[in-house]
Amino acid sequence: METSRQVNVAAMAKEARQAARVLAMADGAVKNKALLIMAVRLLEQSAWLQEENNRDLQAAEAAGLSSAMIDRLRLNESRIAAMAEGVRQVAALDDPVGEITALKARPNGMRVGKMRVPLGVIGVIYESRPNVTADAAALCVKSGNAVILRGGSEAYYSNRAISACLMHGLQEAGLPMTAVQYIDTTDRAAVGELLRCDADVDVIIPRGGKDLIARIIAESHIPVIKHLDGICHTYVDAEADLAMALALTMNGKMQRTGVCNATETLLVHRAVAATFLPEVCQQLAQAGCQLRVCPETRTLLPAQLAVQDARAEDWDTEYLDAILSIRVVASLEEAIDHIERHSSRHTDVIVTRSHGNAMRFLREVDSASVMVNASSRFSDGFEFGLGAEMGISTDKLHVRGPVGLEGLTTQKYIVLGDGQLRR
């Protein structure tokens, strides 16, 4: 097949390494120029992008993909405009590269500090929505990194066309076009090749389903910034403002259900369970949410309310749907213990008026984002003020939680001396 041609990924990675040296030293104004031209090009080429997208859509229909998947794949004029606007917004962010912090004098007069620098070459492996091509490339270019993009085969023509627009921007701004490279094949072996380029690729960022991420972790010896499950908890404390708890639970669960920062488990302190649970469960059920409850919760609910018994595996399930598991706990400790055992360490929320309980929850819950009196749905790079987001890391090392421009950089030590010798 034409689209499954053999591609020399190792050679691409070497080109990327060269391009990364140039990008690392590029002035912010040049990088911004490239990004703004990319945005213009995406808009200018809207008709062509839709034509190319059509080839993917036809193949998807022929292959019998679900209408939801086909919808995610579709590029129309407004989606292309939104993609271009996203690139423009990245251009408007502060350049993280070159920032020098913590420059302090040592007793011998030598000054030691840190300089923020790009990571180098980033491999992004993604599925589904073609806009990731533009989003990921814009963030990498802005942070001074070269990027190798590998999109899903179902969006092959769309991704290739978007990449062409991006490379045009690099070229017009005088930057190497190899700073953004698209692996132009649907051949699955190419992913394996990319994962073996450990000399020339500094980090792999997968954006996709669990199978994709599991494969990458198993095969790669390149560091991976990854996002696993989003099993997020909202805990309603004995000291909670129950009206606030009701609003936060409804928002955390139902504002949007298919996303990683939606609440999947509600924990309620026994002291307020009899008051809080009938009301919240009624509202959730009315909103179309299926409830999977612990035995104690069931005894507190009106018999006519249809609920299911939670099974052991419910506490470890990311529903990504209008389903909520509910458990009564005897104490703040029991809530924290439950979270320690079942949370995916993505985002967990306490609702409380008690300062002590809030501080204890913040300190003891070991998750990427820990919140007091806010909806779990806020766990997001834009909502946190990062201006953009490459994904959300559930790893502990390097970057935790929403990954913005800073997460795509590292710091090196710099030393400014005037001839100091070690004794």
Q: Which residues bind a second copy (CB under 8 A)?
A: 21, 24-25, 98, 104, 106, 110, 112, 115, 117, 119-120, 202-203, 217-218, 221, 223, 225, 241, 244, 247-248, 251, 255, 340, 358, 362-364, 366-375, 377-379, 383-385, 395-398, 400-402, 410-422
Shortest CB 362 distance to a second copy, Å: 5
Nearer to a second copy, 62 or 218 (CB): 218
Question: Which residues have a Cβ under 8 Å from the Cβ of 371 and sit 6 or more positions away?
Answer: 347, 348, 349, 350, 378, 379
Shortest CB 96 distance to a second copy, Å: 13
3-state secondary structure of 264: strand
Nearer to a second copy, 119 or 267 (CB): 119
Nearer to a second copy, 290 or 373 (CB): 373
User: Contacts by 192-196 with C-beta closer than 8 Å and gap 24+?
Assistant: 192/219, 193/9, 193/10, 194/9, 194/13, 194/123, 194/125, 194/148, 194/150, 195/123, 195/219, 195/220, 195/221, 195/222, 196/10
Cα angle, residue 185 at apex, residues 182 and 190 outer, rounded to 5°: 85
Cα angle, residue 172 at apex, residues 169 and 174 outer, rounded to 5°: 110
3-state secondary structure of 232: strand
Would you tell me how many other CB atoms lie within 10 Å of the CB of residue 264? Answer: 31
User: How far apart are the C-alpha atoms of 156 and 332, rounded to whole Å?
Assistant: 49
Shortest CB 150 distance to a second copy, Å: 20
Would you tell me how many other CB atoms lie within 10 Å of the CB of residue 86? Answer: 17
Would you tell me how many other CB atoms lie within 10 Å of the CB of residue 299? Answer: 12
Shortest CB 271 distance to a second copy, Å: 20
Nearer to a second copy, 296 or 364 (CB): 364
Shortest CB 384 distance to a second copy, Å: 5
Nearer to a second copy, 5 or 21 (CB): 21
Nearer to a second copy, 201 or 238 (CB): 201
Shortest CB 397 distance to a second copy, Å: 4
Nearer to a second copy, 21 or 188 (CB): 21
CA distances 328 to 97, 293, 338, 413, Å, are: 48, 9, 11, 50
Nearer to a second copy, 70 or 259 (CB): 259
CA dihedral for 154, 129, 219, 166, sign (positive or negative): positive
Shortest CB 241 distance to a second copy, Å: 7
Shortest CB 232 distance to a second copy, Å: 12
Token match 């993280």: residue? 96
8 Å CB contact between 261 and 347: yes
User: How far apart are the C-alpha atoms of 222 and 208, rounded to whole Å?
Assistant: 18
